[in-house]
């Protein structure tokens, strides 16, 4: 009997040892696989870091990483070579630019003011400065945009010169047409000829005004405008147009909103947006105009129920002379939205377009609120 019990105990022991051995093998295989996965992830992270460092060191932008005390922790090669950036120094000590230093938030800055971007002049060149927040402090990127700014200036001067040269002969042609015109009623060819010459003259004047506005040569005559009364006045100017098309205009403008704006240029911006909305809203459609406070700004929206704007066209619709699918078959010179953009930016505001094809378009722009710094 003891021999049977001993044999049974031995079998149990061997079975337990076998179970333990099998589990040990399974654990060893799992650890081996985990070790390989860890090695692969480590290698992938090292490759990503190497690619990131190569990108940062080989680019043309100067990139700095700052700590919470706004001191440089890391700088790429362009930042070292072009700015003289050194770890431990502040951007102000490095660049001697108070304007650039003012872009970087201090630890006491409100949470909403921790990201900033601006074009600035430094050491005789133009730079696009972008500041962002990261876990250890702040990041700063400086891109040299001098060539782009010089190309833009050359284009602006060329446009202004061509428009200026065209103004005199067009005016002369218009005067000659007045002298040669037959008695009323004018034949249709004469009506079309005079209409086209007048259109060219208006286009030339618009180009000259736009060139002056872009160059900052147009003095802005700011006034405190009561937003509700101002918008209602602009909408009434377009009443014959939208009433002839059977359009409804819905206004949502609270009382008491006021903006600092040049009535002429702010009116051009709003008027061009209203003109667009009237032209692209089908008969029986609706145009909505809203306004609301937005911190130190007042936001104004003009929305239509037209065909909308394709997503690929949205980034370009504020370019001068750009006319996409939405304008196909319609009138206009392609300058209306460009004028609106420059008029808004001359006030320090910004303008944006939002749209989904088939669901209309919304244009939102901001003007400085009365009482804001």
Q: Which residue has the tokens 């008491």?
A: 256
Contacts of 166 by beta carbon, 8 Å cutoff, 6+ apart: 200, 204
Query: What is the per-residue pLDDT for 137?
Result: 83
User: How many whole angstroms separate alpha carbon 353 and alpha carbon 316?
Assistant: 10
Spatial contact of 304 and 280, defined as CB atoms under 8 Å apart: yes
Q: Which two tokens stand for residue 122?
A: 């430094």
Strands (E), 265-345: 286-294, 297-303
Nearest to 218 by CA among 278, 294, 292, 156: 156
Spatial contact of 161 and 134, defined as CB atoms under 8 Å apart: no
Spatial contact of 141 and 61, defined as CB atoms under 8 Å apart: yes
Q: Which two tokens stand for residue 53?
A: 């460092």
Per-residue b or e along 5-44, where b marks 16 or more CB atoms closer than 10 Å to that residue's CB: eeeeeeeeeeeeeeeeeeeeeeeeeeeeeeeeeeeeeeee
Q: Which two tokens stand for residue 201?
A: 């003259």
User: How many whole angstroms separate alpha carbon 319 and alpha carbon 339?
Assistant: 9
Spatial contact of 312 and 362, defined as CB atoms under 8 Å apart: no
Residue 311's CB is within 10 A of a number of other CB atoms, namely 10
Would you give per-residue pLDDT tens digits along the chain (373 residues)?
555 544 444 444 445 444 444 555 566 666 666 656 655 655 555 454 544 454 455 556 888 888 888 888 888 888 888 777 888 888 777 777 777 777 777 654 444 445 566 777 777 788 888 888 877 788 888 888 888 878 777 776 776 777 777 777 878 888 888 888 888 888 888 888 888 888 788 778 777 777 777 766 667 788 999 999 999 999 998 888 888 888 999 999 999 899 999 998 899 899 999 998 998 999 889 999 999 999 899 999 999 998 888 888 888 888 776 766 544 444 556 678 888 888 898 888 999 999 888 888 999 999 999 875 5
Nearest to 119 by CA among 95, 136, 139, 99: 99
For the chain, the straight-line distance linking the first and the last C-alpha, in angstroms and rounded, comes to 103
Residue 179's CB is within 10 A of a number of other CB atoms, namely 6
Query: What is the per-residue pLDDT for 14?
Result: 45
Spatial contact of 182 and 191, defined as CB atoms under 8 Å apart: no
DSSP states of 236-250: HHTHHHHHHTT-EEE
Q: Which residue has the tokens 């000259």?
A: 208
> What phi, psi does 365 have (nearest 5°)?
-135, 160
Q: Reply yes or no: is the peptide bond before residue 185 cis, omega within 30 of 0.
A: yes
Which ranges in 215-354 belong to alpha helices (H)?
Answer: 227-237, 239-244, 263-280, 336-346
């Amino acid at each position: 009997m003891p021999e049977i019990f001993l044999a049974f105990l031995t079998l149990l022991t061997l079975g337990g040892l076998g179970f333990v051995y099998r589990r040990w093998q399974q654990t060893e295989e799992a650890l081996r696989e985990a070790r390989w996965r860890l090695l692969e992830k480590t290698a992938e992270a090292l490759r990503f870091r190497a690619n990131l460092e190569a990108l940062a060191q080989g680019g043309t932008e100067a990139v700095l990483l700052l700590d919470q005390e706004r001191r440089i922790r890391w700088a790429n090669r362009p930042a070292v070579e072009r700015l003289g950036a050194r770890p431990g120094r502040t951007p102000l000590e490095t660049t001697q630019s108070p304007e650039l230093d003012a872009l970087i938030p201090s630890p006491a800055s409100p949470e909403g003011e921790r990201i900033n971007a601006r074009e600035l002049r430094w050491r005789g060149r133009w730079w696009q400065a972008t500041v962002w927040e990261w876990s250890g402090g702040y990041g700063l990127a400086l891109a040299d945009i001098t060539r782009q700014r010089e190309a833009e200036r050359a284009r602006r001067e060329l446009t202004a010169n061509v428009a200026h040269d065209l103004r005199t002969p067009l005016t002369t042609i218009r005067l000659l047409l007045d002298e040669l015109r037959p008695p009323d009623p004018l034949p249709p060819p004469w009506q079309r000829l005079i209409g086209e010459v007048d259109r060219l003259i208006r286009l030339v004047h618009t180009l000259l005004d736009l060139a002056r506005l872009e160059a900052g040569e147009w003095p802005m005559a700011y006034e405190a405008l009561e937003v509700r009364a101002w918008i209602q006045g602009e909408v009434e100017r377009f009443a014959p147009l939208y009433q002839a098309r059977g359009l409804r205009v819905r206004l949502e403008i609270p009382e008491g909103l006021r903006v600092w704006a040049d009535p002429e240029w702010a009116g051009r911006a709003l008027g061009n947006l209203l003109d667009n909305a009237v032209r692209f809203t089908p008969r029986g459609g609706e145009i909505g105009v809203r306004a609301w406070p937005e911190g130190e700004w007042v936001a104004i929206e003009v929305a239509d129920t037209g065909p909308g704007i394709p997503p690929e066209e949205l980034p370009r619709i504020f370019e001068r002379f750009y006319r996409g699918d939405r304008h196909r078959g319609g009138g206009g010179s392609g300058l209306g939205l460009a004028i609106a953009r420059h008029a808004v930016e001359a006030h320090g505001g910004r303008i944006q377009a939002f749209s989904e094809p088939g669901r209309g378009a919304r244009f939102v722009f901001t003007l400085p609120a009365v009482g804001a710094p």
